[in-house]
Amino acid sequence: MFTLRCTQKLLTRLRAEPDLQPPAPDTVLGDWYANLVWVGRTQWVLAISERTLLPVVLPARDARSLVPRLVEALEPVLLGIGVPAEDAAAECQAMKASAIGKTASRRVLGSLNDLAFQLEVGMVHAPHRSPLDQAVWLAHTPMKGTEYRGPDQATVAAFAAHRVLSAVRLRAG
C-alpha cells in the first residue's frame, strides 16, 4: 500500500479527490510524489519515491490509469539501477493497493522540482532517450535528500537493508 501524493496541478488533471488521511505506506520506497512537467509541447508525469527520491517518468496521457502505469514503469527502473529482480517484483506487488493524496513534504517537493528541471534539460538535449532511460539517467543525480548520493544508490541501499531486516525477523520469529 502506498499513496501517490500529487501536486495540485496533477490532482486537477486527474480529477481526483485526495484522501485526507491516507494510510501509512508498507512498501520499501514509501509514498510517491508526482507532478506534471512540460517539455516543449509534450506533457510528462515525474514521480519520485519519498524515501529514496528514485524517479519514474511517464507520459501524462490517460490520467485515470496513472497509478497502474507508475507501478508498471517502476520495475524496469529498479532493474536498471541494480535492484534484484525478486525485490523489484515484490515492491511492485506491494504497490497494487494505493490511495491518492496531497503533497505533504516540502523537502520532497523541492527534490521533485530539481529533478523536473533536470528532466526538461535531459529531454531537450537527449530527445532519443526513452522515459525509462531518462528515469535511470535522473537516478544518478546527487541529491541533498539522499546525502548527496544518487537516488539509485539510496534505493539499492534501501532494498539491501530491507533484505537484512527481513532475514533477521525471520530468524527471530
Give the pLDDT of residue 3: 97
CATH class, 2-172 region: alpha beta
pLDDT in tens, the chain (173 residues): 999 999 999 999 999 899 989 999 999 999 999 999 999 889 999 999 999 999 999 999 888 899 999 999 999 999 999 999 999 999 999 999 999 999 999 999 999 999 999 999 999 999 999 999 999 999 999 999 888 999 999 999 999 999 999 888 888 86
DSSP SS3 for 36? strand
- Boundaries of every domain in the chain: 2-172
Q: How far apart are CA 8 and CA 18, in angstroms?
A: 10
Give the pLDDT of residue 173: 67
Sheet containing 42-49: order of strands? 55-59, 42-49, 32-39, 2-6, 98-102
